[in-house]
Amino acid sequence: MASIPSHGLRHLSTTRCSFQFHFHKFRSSTSLAASPSSTTSHDDSQRAEQHDPPSSNGFSSKSQSYFPKRGQTLELVCESLAFKGKGLCKVSDTGFVVMCDRVLPGERFVGRVTRRKGNYAEVTKLETLSPHWDLVDAPCEYASYCGGCKTQNLSYEAQLRYKEQQVHELLTHVGKFSQKELEFHIVMKPIVPCEIQFHYRNKMEFSFGSKRWVPKDALKEKQEGDEINALGLHAPGFFDKVLNVDKCLLQSGPANQVLASVQECWRDPLLGLSPYDVHSHKGFLKHLMLRTGRDVNTGLPELMVNFVTSSYKPELLMPLVEKFSDIPEVVSVVNNINSSVGNTSVGEEEHVLYGKSSIRESLRGLTFQISANSFFQTNTHQAEVLYRLIEECAGLKGDGSEIVLDLFCGTGTIGLTLAKRARHVYGYEVVPQAIKDACLNAELNSICNATFVQGDLNKIDQNFGNNFPKPDIIISDPNRPGMHMKLIKFLLKIKTPRIVYVSCNPATCARDLDYLCHGVVEEGIKGCYTLKSLQPVDMFPHTPHIECVCLLELTPDSQMGS
């Protein structure tokens, strides 16, 4: 999806905004600024350093106490998890807020200040002094190093509790919803857990690299002559270093079999294979993508293997294909060619090396065809739950009388699941391939009352809305940046009775809900919707990601004026 342009949209600094609550909560008797505009500037803090002598704990007695220096070492206790899974801590005796990755609530640790951002700082954990609350043993050997499963050693019940808390705080302090508006069990619902907490991902992408990343505590085990090439996941904070991974507990068993087979032989010098180097732009192998689907007739899993390479040399890949082609679940092996210097997994051309060109999956009674570069919900099992909630919120009468507008429709999965109860579904999406897949999926399921249009919803003009009837229900499922102000204005102008907002980013979701319900003062725009329900859904256990399904209804006075 295209990124949102800066013009016309009041951007949300998710980091700062999500911290506002904590600044109010933790500040000491000395005033700590509650908004970015009133915070002490870097120059002010430097002047404070010159006039305020430091105390024994490294801080001065006045305002400088809120500004620890870069490189300073602090003993901290994690108070809670903030959005994106970072631990929120406060400096003892001062209340100054610091953020630290890979710490969990209740954990006491030593950290070093790496960045200072006015009214908060970032620290890096050096040593754990005492473990966090709800400690469990992480079953994955890479959990401490991989950037994916940050909370695997936190009990699942605690993960849910903190995710729910994050959504509530963002709604309150970014969305500006009062406690009365939310009334927890009436508007904001308890988070829906995921029944399957491992092996739930139907797609994983691994990278080949010429620089293997080894964690510091494992360096002593590294022997001279060890392989420097790696196949795995990018090390956190590095685009050019790869953590070698032999098994991932989030993907299916057959996918792990394929990964193990490739790991076993791809470094063999006789095969003449080389990993792509992002600095020299030389090398052949870029990515290994594994997608798991399901045979709609037998219900058995079927696996697609996608090699992304810098050029088309199938003879180099065939020894690898022969290695795992006898795994029964492997029904498709494709080769995407990406000759650009960029390291994206989407190719300019695609070739089938073995089996068929796509796999299938069923969702809400429909069949979807999935190609190597198709978008599909990553957690199929939980997508069933998510789509059921969307369908319930949409509240279609079922008599075939209603028009549904599906914004950011992707490959049409949401709109197509609603089409059987609607008069017509109109879907809009910026990615051309996604629109092609949506049309194919409609044909595959014999759905004739769905129209899919390619277009950038960030660049709509005054004519948007002229090519379809006024919708009775709007589904909006934007990517992480949320909705552009142009689209917000369109929604407030058209005044559809119901909007179902599906979000993968609760921070931008809270911002957009504020616009739709409370208006945009600086734009002179009045809100005209009431938030009737917000349902958090845990789509990705052990990660900081949170999905939300929100139902908005037009306020009665707005209905009278429309």
Q: Is 152 annotated as a binding residue?
A: no
Domain termination site, one of 363, 398, 424: 363
d(CA 17, CA 505): 14
Cβ atoms < 10 Å from Cβ of 116 = 18
Going by C-alpha positions, the residue among 58, 314, 17 that lies closest to residue 175 is 17
Residues 338 and 444 in one domain: no
Q: Residue 529 pairs with which residues in a beta bridge?
A: 554
Residues 300 and 357 in one domain: yes
Residues 386 and 473 in one domain: yes
Q: So which residues are the catalytic ones?
A: 504
What CATH number is given to the structural domain containing 69? 2.40.50.140
DSSP string, 273-292: --BPBTTTTB-SEEEEEEEE
| Model pLDDT, residue 17 | 37
User: Does any domain span residue 6?
Assistant: no
Going by C-alpha positions, the residue among 116, 117, 118, 88 that lies closest to residue 100 is 88
Going by C-alpha positions, the residue among 121, 96, 161, 147 that lies closest to residue 15 is 121
d(CA 451, CA 424): 8
Three-class DSSP category at 306: strand
User: Does any domain span residue 247?
Assistant: yes
d(CA 184, CA 162): 15
Structure tokens at 534: 């917000």
Residues 325 and 445 in one domain: no
Residues 277 and 251 in one domain: yes
CB burial of residue 384 (10 Å; 0-12, 13-18, 19+):
middle
Structure tokens at 101: 């990755």
User: Does any domain span residue 152?
Assistant: no
Structure tokens at 292: 């798991």
Convert the pLDDT of each residue in 12-55 to its tens digit. Answer: 333 333 333 333 333 332 222 223 333 333 333 333 333 333 33
Three-class DSSP category at 258: helix
Structure tokens at 555: 């306020």
User: Does any domain span residue 172?
Assistant: no
DSSP letter assigned to residue 191: P
Give buried/exposed letters for 122-153 (b at 16+ CB in 10 A, else e): bbebeeeeeebebeeebebebbebbbbbbbbb
Distances (CA, A) of 187 to 303, 496, 498, 526, 552: 40, 20, 15, 22, 11
Q: Is 377 annotated as a binding residue?
A: yes
Looking at 377-464, which runs of residues are DSSP E strands?
403-407, 424-429, 450-454
Phi, psi of 272 (to 5 degrees): 70, 30
Give buried/exposed letters for 397-413 (b at 16+ CB in 10 A, else e): eeeeebbbbbbbbbbbb
Residues 324 and 446 in one domain: no
User: Does any domain span residue 7?
Assistant: no
- Whole-prediction pTM value? 0.81
Residues 415 and 531 in one domain: yes
Q: Is 429 annotated as a binding residue?
A: yes
Residues 276 and 395 in one domain: no
Q: Contact at 8 Å (CB) between 233 and 242? A: yes
User: Does any domain span residue 42?
Assistant: no
Residues 284 and 409 in one domain: no
Residues 404 and 354 in one domain: no
On the CB side of 487, CA atoms within 13 Å amount to 25
Residues 403 and 547 in one domain: yes
User: Does any domain span residue 341?
Assistant: yes
Going by C-alpha positions, the residue among 375, 348, 380 that lies closest to residue 364 is 380
Q: Contact at 8 Å (CB) between 431 and 457? A: no
Structure tokens at 71: 């490189």
Convert the pLDDT of each residue in 236-276 to its tens digit. Answer: 777 889 999 999 999 999 999 999 999 999 999 999 999 99
Q: Residue 109 pairs with which residues in a beta bridge?
A: 76, 128
User: Does any domain span residue 176?
Assistant: no
Residues 350 and 268 in one domain: yes
| Model pLDDT, residue 55 | 37
Please, which residues have CB within 8 angstroms of residue 11's CB and are 6 or more apart in sequence?
none
Q: Quick one: which H or E segment has residue 244?
A: strand 242-244
d(CA 179, CA 176): 10
Q: Residue 80 pairs with which residues in a beta bridge?
A: 88
Domain coverage including residue 72: 61-130
Domain termination site, one of 113, 130, 147: 130
Query: β-pairing, 359-363 with 349-355?
Result: unpaired
What CATH number is given to the structural domain containing 462? 3.40.50.150
| Model pLDDT, residue 101 | 87
On the CB side of 168, CA atoms within 13 Å amount to 20
Domain termination site, one of 81, 112, 130: 130
d(CA 85, CA 104): 9
Going by C-alpha positions, the residue among 556, 555, 537, 557 that lies closest to residue 547 is 537
| Model pLDDT, residue 219 | 56
Distances (CA, A) of 149 to 102, 133, 159, 249, 419: 10, 18, 11, 10, 36
d(CA 245, CA 265): 14
| Model pLDDT, residue 184 | 64
Structure tokens at 289: 């993508």
Convert the pLDDT of each residue in 428-444 to its tens digit. Answer: 999 888 999 999 999 99
Number of domains making up the chain: 3
| Model pLDDT, residue 220 | 53
| Model pLDDT, residue 147 | 75
* Grouped pLDDT means (10 residues each) for the chain, 562 residues: 33 34 33 30 36 36 58 91 84 86 90 86 91 90 84 93 93 91 83 96 95 73 65 85 94 96 95 93 96 90 96 96 94 94 81 94 92 90 97 95 96 95 96 92 96 95 92 96 95 96 96 95 90 96 95 85 54
d(CA 219, CA 213): 10
Please, which residues have CB within 8 angstroms of residue 252's CB and are 6 or more apart in sequence?
199, 201, 202, 292, 301, 303
Looking at 356-420, which runs of residues are DSSP E strands?
359-363, 366-370, 403-407
What CATH number is given to the structural domain containing 285? 2.40.50.1070
Q: Contact at 8 Å (CB) between 213 and 231? A: no
Q: Quick one: which H or E segment has residue 350?
A: strand 349-355
| Model pLDDT, residue 403 | 97
